[in-house]
């Protein structure tokens, strides 16, 4: 397995482990009406991974084409299944590395930017994006008194560095 995929497998498995400890009710709870639930954050993460996998075959990833699948955000077991499927993909598939094009529009009042990138850069983005949302999920769950693993919401680089420093 390429080191490009190691961090994704680690993070996706962390997500599965966390979700297996939660109740369906906790998966859906929000801090307030205008905030996102744990389920909404996991749906968002999963859909970014799906767009990446679909897009690299075409050489173009459009991160705005998320389906916003309500089942993923409302059904914890469906999210677990999706994360486990992604783990298998990263464990078994070799993605072609190299150039591709991406787009994501942050302001619909302007034309959608289309920029050059690479599979490697997008793999790096997905790690950062997942860690970012895991940190928010961790904060959300802790605010409800739910225990979250100490390593949840930290970059794999931070976790590996901490292991190194503890050993030396």
Interval 22-71: pLDDT, tens: 999 999 998 888 889 999 999 999 999 999 999 998 999 999 888 888 99
Structure tokens at 36: 């996102």
Q: Where are the alpha helices (DSSP H) in 75-155?
A: 76-92, 119-143
What's the pLDDT score for residue 162? 64
CA dist 39 and 45 (Å) reads: 10
The residue that leads in pLDDT, 14 or 158, is 14
Helices (H), the chain: 3-21, 24-28, 38-58, 70-74, 76-92, 119-143, 156-167
Distance CA 67, CA 102 (A): 17
How many distinct structural domains can be found in the chain?
1
Residue 55, burial from CB neighbour count under 10 angstroms (0-12, 13-18, 19+): buried
Greater pLDDT, 144 or 159: 144
The per-residue pLDDT for range 101-135, each reduced to its tens digit, is 999 887 888 888 899 999 999 999 999 999 999 99
3-state secondary structure (DSSP) of residue 130: helix
Q: Tell me the pTM.
A: 0.91
| Model confidence pLDDT, tens digit, residues 87-101 | 999 999 888 889 999
Domain that holds residue 84: 3-167
- 68-76 mean pLDDT: 93
Give the CATH number, domain containing residue 44: 1.20.120.450
| pLDDT at site 164 | 44
């Amino acid at each position: 397995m390429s080191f490009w995929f190691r961090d994704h497998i680690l993070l996706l498995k962390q997500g599965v482990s966390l979700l297996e400890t939660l109740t369906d009710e906790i998966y859906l709870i929000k801090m307030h009406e205008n905030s996102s639930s744990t389920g909404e954050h996991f749906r968002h993460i999963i859909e970014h991974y799906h767009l990446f996998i679909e897009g690299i075959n075409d050489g173009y990833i459009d991160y705005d084409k998320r389906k916003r699948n309500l089942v993923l955000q409302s059904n914890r077991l469906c999210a677990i299944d999706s994360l486990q499927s992604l783990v298998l993909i990263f464990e078994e598939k070799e993605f072609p590395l190299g150039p591709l094009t991406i787009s994501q529009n942050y302001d619909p009042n302007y034309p959608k930017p289309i920029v050059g990138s690479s599979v490697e850069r997008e793999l790096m983005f997905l790690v950062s994006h997942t860690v970012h949302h895991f940190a928010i999920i961790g904060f959300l769950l802790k605010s409800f008194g739910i225990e979250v693993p100490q390593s949840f919401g930290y970059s794999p680089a931070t976790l590996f560095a901490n292991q190194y420093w503890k050993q030396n």
